[in-house]
Amino acid sequence: MAKRNELVKETALNNQVTELSRSEAPSELLRELVAHLRQNRTQLREEWVVRITETRLLTAMTKEEIFAEATSVYDSYVEALETETFEALQAYARNLSERIIPRGVETHEVVGIVLLLRDVLARSLFAKYQNDFKKLNRILDAYEPAANRIANTVAVGFVQERERVIRQQQEAIRELSTPVLQVRERLLILPIIGVIDPQRARQLTEQLLRGIRTNRAKVVVIDITGVAAMDVTVANHLVQTVEASRLLGATVIVTGLSPEIAQTLVTIGVDLGKMNTVGDLQGGIEQAERLLGYKVETLAEPR
């Protein structure tokens, strides 16, 4: 029974609080908050920069840069609070990310400084309203969700920019992908350089098989001198490529297996019985010429 009474009391209290906050709309509170932040701009910004330096964030940037950046972040922050629109801030965050990502600024640093600003501002609010606890509560009610959204927006903007850069680089790598070259009638070479991931391996295979068909190739030399490492998936893919080429009537010669890759292939037990391997690209081409019935002769001594 006593518990129930308590519950009733609590509900009444809650109702009171809701009524109170309803009497003063959040937007009004926000306006007051923004006015406060505008007024103390210089001091709060200063404090924020000190905190940033103290926590050793943005070490890739000079003090002046941090200060300049801090000023514009501060202003966008207050503006976002005031207008409750986040597009401008989003655009700014993207722009900022574009500038600082190439300088090696990490995600945690960007999130860190925004959270620091949030902290600095909240502290100043505590200081200002320390005598009026109820008001502080309502101010925080208005401030917290907006501040959270801002932090969210900035972090997401930064990560999105990062992902965009990564996508761009992936595309660049894909474009640099390997050409299938015809060096003699019915003889193709496929020099592979760099890291092969499953996606690239697939693309290489498709290109090669299509190349075999269009060039009517009988022999293909795959040179992997430029490949540093190979995992099980890719090694198996290579074997599959060899087999698929055979189904198209072409013989594959693999050249330039590095000692490390040879070791890997033996360790993981890839079935190399179906693979034709030669030490280097020259040897591979010579072997291919033999298979095709070519005979290379020197007509005169080189001068």
10 Å CB burial of residue 41 (0-12, 13-18, 19+) is middle
Contact residues for other proteins, defined by CB under 8 A? 205-206, 209-210, 212-213, 216, 218, 240-241, 243-250
Q: Report the alpha-carbon distance of residue 149 to residue 18 in Å, rounded.
A: 23
**Pick 44 or 230: Cβ nearer other proteins:** 230
**Pick 118 or 237: Cβ nearer other proteins:** 237
Which run of H or E residues covers position 133? helix 133-175
**Pick 238 or 257: Cβ nearer other proteins:** 238
Cα distance from N-terminal residue to C-terminal residue, the chain? 112
Which residues pair with residue 189 across a beta bridge?
A: 181, 221
CB of 205 to other proteins, least distance (A): 6
CB of 215 to other proteins, least distance (A): 10
**Pick 36 or 218: Cβ nearer other proteins:** 218
Q: Give the number of C-alpha atoms closer than 13 A to the C-alpha of residue 158, restricted to the C-beta side.
A: 20
CB of 240 to other proteins, least distance (A): 4
Q: Report the alpha-carbon distance of residue 287 to residue 222 in Å, rounded.
A: 13
CB of 244 to other proteins, least distance (A): 4
**Pick 174 or 216: Cβ nearer other proteins:** 216
CB of 217 to other proteins, least distance (A): 8
